A and B are shown apart, each in its own frame.
Chain A
Amino acid sequence: DAGVIQSPRHEVTEMGQEVTLRCKPISGHDYLFWYRQTMMRGLELLIYFNNNVPIDDSGMPEDRFSAKMPNASFSTLKIQPSEPRDSAVYFCASSLGPGNQPQHFGDGTRLSIL
């Protein structure tokens, strides 16, 4: 079975540009999570969806970040405008449940904002 697929794997862009990260969850998984990983702050949950509906976006750092899940097989995380402090590895994960089931992670998008 295909795992969680993220694209692009690497993104380098200049400050102020719009960045769009993409995720395809595992088929049949009702929960989708977006995380950000940095050396300073570790792994942080940004937002998660259940059946395509955002449930908890309390981890989204500010209005420059937005996430959508238009259907069960696709989600995007958008940053507009991007800033150097947004540089991090962004992970998407999917699961059959919220906190009581294993989460399956993609290999992440390494984002560098110059």
Chain B
Amino acid sequence: SQQGEEDPQALSIQEGENATMNCSYKTSINNLQWYRQNSGRGLVHLILIRSNEREKHSGRLRVTLDTSKKSSSLLITASRAADTASYFCATDAVGGGYNKLIFGAGTRLAVHP
């Protein structure tokens, strides 16, 4: 069963707007990672946030983690057409066995010029 579930499943915005994607998970985690996947390509790592961190920034990306609510959000500010992709959260669950990542189903983001 999936550990992380993204919300919304799809998001359509205009260039310059902010995009917010959410991820909820079920069990305690060691860390949570966000990845981007462009059509026909492999996943690209964006950011890793550890369970004792609440917020991280990387360029136009801002990730928050609320372990009490078992949720995370990814904010992309001032979006560009090139941000069009699917975004996945992945969790490294505590006691999940061999510390493997479990990926959610992803959010499809479309940024229109």
Indicate if A104 sits at the interface (CB-CB under 8 A): yes
Identify 5 new A-B residue pairs, CB closer than 8 A, beyond the known A107-B42, A108-B42: A45-B102, A98-B99, A102-B45, A103-B43, A104-B45
Contact across chains for B92 and A100 when beta carbons are under 8 A apart: yes
Contact across chains for A42 and B104 when beta carbons are under 8 A apart: yes
The A/B interface has a contact count, at CB < 8 Å, of 59
In the complex, per-residue mask of B83-113: 1 if CB is within 8 Å of any chain A CB, else 0: 0000010001100111111111110000000
Q: How large is the interface on B (under 10, 10 to 19, 20 to 34, 35 or more residues)?
A: 20 to 34
8 Å CB contact of A99 from B2, B40, B100, B106 = B100
Indicate if B69 sits at the interface (CB-CB under 8 A): no
Residues in A with CB closer than 8 Å to B43 are: 43, 91, 93, 103, 105
